[in-house]
């Protein structure tokens, strides 16, 4: 048995343990947001909920790649000097499987609305729900009705770093320098 076969087979077995561990933790919801294990991207790391959902979606792929790595690692150890090919094949297939489920997990994370919810910054300071449907129309911006004071509207607009247009859907349109509609033609 060659040393390369042993090294690659043991590497496949170590990767199998990690993949199976992440898969089980992701499936059961025990995997907490971290920078080392699971599907990690800006989309998945933005909240505990997005991380949990993305890794629950990716868990079957992690489990499948763990099984592939376990099988090819064991076969690689017992096959002899050509066992490195089996272990290498298992590693490559596992990486492809995890990459594929990672893309699906990112799509799942992107489907979860942002905690700020697009309207959260232009609502009055007492509302932290962040969703337009949760707020009365009067709670948005400077064009608000009598129930919202100008001071509340200014405070809400300051949360965004700009003035409010009177509508959550128009947040950022009034004074944003990046908005091409605000420049004279």
Transcribe 51-110 into DSSP letters. Answer: HHHHHHHHHHHHHHHHHHHHHHHHHHHHH-TTHHHHHHHHHHHHHHHHHHHHHHHHHHHH
- Top-confidence residue, 164 or 53: 53
Say if residue 22's pLDDT is above 50.
yes
Question: What sign has the CA pseudo-torsion 15, 18, 59, 52?
Answer: negative
Place of tokens 């003035």: 163
Radius of gyration of the chain (CA): 25
In the chain, where are the structural domains located?
3-111, 120-168
The per-residue pLDDT for 152 is: 55
Q: Looking only at Cα atoms, what is the longest distance across the chain?
A: 83
The model carries a pTM of: 0.61
- Top-confidence residue, 123 or 4: 4
**CB neighbour class for 161 (10 Å; exposed up to 12, middle 13-18, buried from 19):** exposed
């Amino acid at each position: 048995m060659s040393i390369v076969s042993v090294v690659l087979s043991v590497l496949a077995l170590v990767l199998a343990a990690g993949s199976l561990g992440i898969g089980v933790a992701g499936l059961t919801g025990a995997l907490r947001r971290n920078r080392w294990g699971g599907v990690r991207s800006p989309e998945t790391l933005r909240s505990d909920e997005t991380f949990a959902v993305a890794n629950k979606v990716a868990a079957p792929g992690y489990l499948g790649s763990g099984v592939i790595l376990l099988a090819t690692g064991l076969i690689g150890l017992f096959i002899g000097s050509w066992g490195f090919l089996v272990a290498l094949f298992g590693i490559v297939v596992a990486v492809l499987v995890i990459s594929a489920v990672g893309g699906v997990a990112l799509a799942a994370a992107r489907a979860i609305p942002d905690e700020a919810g697009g309207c959260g910054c232009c609502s009055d300071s007492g509302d932290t729900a962040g969703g337009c449907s949760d707020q009365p129309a009067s709670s948005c911006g400077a064009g608000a009705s009598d129930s919202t004071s100008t001071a509340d509207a200014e405070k809400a607009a300051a949360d965004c770093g700009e003035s409010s247009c009177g509508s959550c859907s128009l947040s950022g349109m009034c004074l944003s320098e990046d908005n091409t509609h605000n420049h004279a033609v």
